[in-house]
Amino acid sequence: MAIDRIGSRQATAVNPLERAGPTQKSHAGTRIEFHESFRFKEQLIEEYVTNKGQALTCDKLIACFRNLIRVIIYAHVDIVPSNLRKLGQYTLEASFSPDYQKTGYSPGILIPLPPGIPPLIATNYSSTPSLIAAIDEFLLAVTQVNDAANLLRLIIVTSHEFGHYRSYKNGNHDYQLASAMQYMMQRQVLGHSDLTWLIFREECTAWNIAQYELQKTGFIDWQIFSTVKNDSLQAYFDLLQLKHADLHALINLSLIGEDFVQCSNPAYGNNF
């Protein structure tokens, strides 16, 4: 299955949900692919870079991205440049697939990069030094074609897709989630809130894992991260029409905590 975000704020999806398909069982759960589009508000990013300084910001982001990539590759997840759809200068589209090569088990995170940048295949390196050298080569190629603003975007969306991988490995991608996504693809969300709330939980899980992983990388740009996360979750909450959820779903959603509270009560914190 594939999912594209819909929304209209600083960092939101811009395309309808599409490309639903059959799922197959794997050792970690159901094979669900996430294709997600993120639109970043130009002013939000450019002001950040201007205020902090391009060179200083870029150095810190490169170090952060290097640490994040190491975690992903050590988890045996490939990082694959992908010529995904062009949706505008300030839009990034990223993807997680538990089997992007269709070989049985080849998890990969696909991120938008220009042609010519080779993928980082986790199983290609026989030693830690060779892997570190490959990561540095990959980063050099990435930084030659991306400024600080684009690096920040890449870090945020890559960490989120890695969050989906961690959730997959934890067994959260089961047949109930697959069924919920099928309802969402078909825009049949009302009447199925006993399942569709699981999609919101999955997105909360992916974002919270992303935050946890980024905390270990030296990432410091939490205001922008929170803007992206909160806006994305609000887009899902609205798309799934969870304000009309039944009592059982609302009880389950309440256990998610603050992420649900903020989306169900827009006045909460006034930070949307």
CA distance 262 to 208: 15
> What confidence tier does 56 reach under pLDDT thresholds 50, 70, 90?
low
**pLDDT for residue 135:** 92
**Hunting for tokens 């603003």 — which residue is that?**
149
Once rounded to an integer, what is the mean pLDDT over residues 20-47?
Answer: 63
Mean pLDDT of 220-226: 89
Mean pLDDT across the stretch 1-9? 37
Residues 35-62, mean pLDDT to the nearest whole number: 74
For the cut 90, the answer to whether the pLDDT of residue 50 exceeds it is no
pLDDT of 23 > 70? The answer is no
Distance, in Å, from the CA atom of 151 to the CA atom of 113, rounded to the nearest integer, reads 11
Task: Quick: pLDDT tens for 114-154.
Answer: 878 889 998 888 788 888 899 999 999 998 888 888 889 89
Residue 270 pLDDT exceeds 60: no
Confidence of residue 14 (pLDDT cuts 50, 70, 90): very low
- pLDDT score for 27: 38
The answer to whether the pTM exceeds 0.75 is yes
Q: How far apart are CA 123 and CA 111, in angstroms?
A: 19
Is the confidence at residue 26, as pLDDT, over 50?
A: no
Q: Read off the pLDDT of residues 160-201 as tens digits, 9 standing for 90 and up.
A: 999 999 999 999 999 999 988 888 888 888 778 888 899 999
Distance CA 170, CA 166 (A): 6
Query: Where would I find the beta strands (DSSP E) of 15-56?
Result: 25-26, 29-30, 34-40
**DSSP of 154-215, one letter per residue?**
HHHHHHHHHHHHHHHHTT---HHHHHHHHHHHTT--TT-HHHHHHHHHHHHHHHHHHHHHHH
Q: Tell me, what's the pLDDT at 12?
A: 32
Read off the pLDDT of residues 72-116 as tens digits, 9 standing for 90 and up: 999 999 999 987 555 455 567 889 999 998 888 899 999 988 878
- Quick one: what percent of the chain has pLDDT higher than 70? 79
**Residue 64 pLDDT more than 80?**
yes
The overall average pLDDT reported for the chain is 79
